[in-house]
Structure 1
Amino acid sequence: MGIRIILDDDKPAENLEWAPPLRVISIVTLLAATLDLLADFLVCNRIAEFLPNFQSQKAIYAAYGYFFFAGVSVIVYIFEMIDVCQSLKYEVENVYTARLAKSLVLALEEVPMPTLLNILFTNEPRLSLANPVFFSSWIKLVALTWGIIKFCKLRFFWPCLPCNPKHDRRENIRRMFTFTAYRCAMILVNICHFYCIYIVIRNIMASANGGRPIKANE
C-alpha cells in the first residue's frame, strides 16, 4: 500500500512566512538607513578635505556630484523615516508609500552615490580616501542586502513573487510573468538594486588595497 501526497496549489499559502515581522523590518531599516547616511557624510567630509589636491578633472566632477546627491539623500532619508516611524507607531505599513520610499532611495541615493564614488576613487585612488570609502561601502552593502528583505516584505522583489502568501502558486506565477507597467517598474528597480550591490562590492575591493598618499594643503 503506497502513500500519496497531494499538494493543493489552489489554496493560498496563508501560513507562509517569508520575511521578518513588520516591527523588526522597520527598526532594522531605521538603523541601516541612519548608518548609511552618516557614512555618506563621513565620505563627504573626507572628500571636501582633500578636494583641492585632486589632479583628475573626472574625480572633481564626481566629487561635486557626490556632494549634490548627499544633499538629496537627506530629503529621501526624511521621507523614508516618516514612513518607518508611522509603521512603528500604528503597526500598519502603507505598502505603496513604502515601495515609493525604497524606490526613491535606490534611484536618488544608492545608484548615483556608489557610482560617483567609484569614478572618484578610480581616478583618484588616494590613501586618505581609502578607509572612509571602504567603511561606507561595507555599510551600504549591508543596507542594500537588508533592502532585499524589505522588498520581499513589500512584495516588490520580482524573483520572490511566487512566495506571495496572498495568492496561490499558480496565480503568483501568472502575475510574475504578466509584464504590466507596474511589473516592469518593479523589475527595473530590482535590476538597479543588484547593480548597486555590484558597484558597492567593486568599491570595497578597490578601497581595500589602499592608495597613494597625499598631503593636505596648509
Structure 2
Amino acid sequence: MLFDFRKNKKYDYIAEFEKLGHYSTLAAEFLHAVLKEYEPADMSLKLAKMHEIEHAADVEKKEMYGMLIDEFLAPIEKDDIIRLSHEIDTVTDSIEDVLISINIFGIENIHSEMTAFSELLVDCCGHMNRALAELQNYQNSNTLFDHIDSVRRHKSRGKELYIKSLRNIFEIASGPVDIMAYTEIYTRFVECFENCKKVTNTVERIVIKNL
C-alpha cells in the first residue's frame, strides 16, 4: 500500500525527519569548523554550542513523539517513524561524542586525519539528508537510491580512512596514552558513518516495504 506523508495536514512527518537530519548536518559542520580552527582553550564554549545543537534535536524528536501518541492513523507504521527518528537523532549524538572525546583526552593538536574524517562526515550527512527529503516523492524519485548508495560509499571510505589513520598513529602519538586517545577518537568517527548508514538502511526498508 502506498503511503502519503502529506495526508495528515496537521503534521508533516517527512518535514520533521528533514529537520532532525538538518541538526545532524549542523553538528557535522560545526565539528569540522572546530577542528579546522582548533583552539584547546575554547573547548568549553565549543562543547556548549555543540550541546545546544544536540538538545534542539532532542526537543524536535520529543515533539514528534508527542504528535505520534495522538495520531489515529499515521502515514506509515508508527514503529518505523519511531525507529527512523531515533536513528537520525543517534547520528547527532555520535557527532557530539567525537567532540566530547577530543576534550576528554585533552588533544592539543588536530592532525590531518581528523579533519579528513570531519570533512567526509559533512558530505555523508548531506547525502543522508537528501535521502530523507526524497521520501516525500519516493515513488517518482530518480535520486533516492543514489543518495542511499552514496552514504554506503562514505561509510566504506570512513572505514578505509580509519585503517589508514591507525597505520599512521605512531607518527603522531607520543606514547601509549596518545595511541589510546587517537584510536578512540577515530573509532568515534567510524560510529558516525555507521549511524548514517543505519538511517538510510531504514529509509530503504520503509520505501521497499511500501512500494
TM-score (norm 2): 0.36
TM-score (norm 1): 0.35
- Between structure 1 and structure 2, the one with the greater Rg is 1
Structure with more helix by fraction: 2
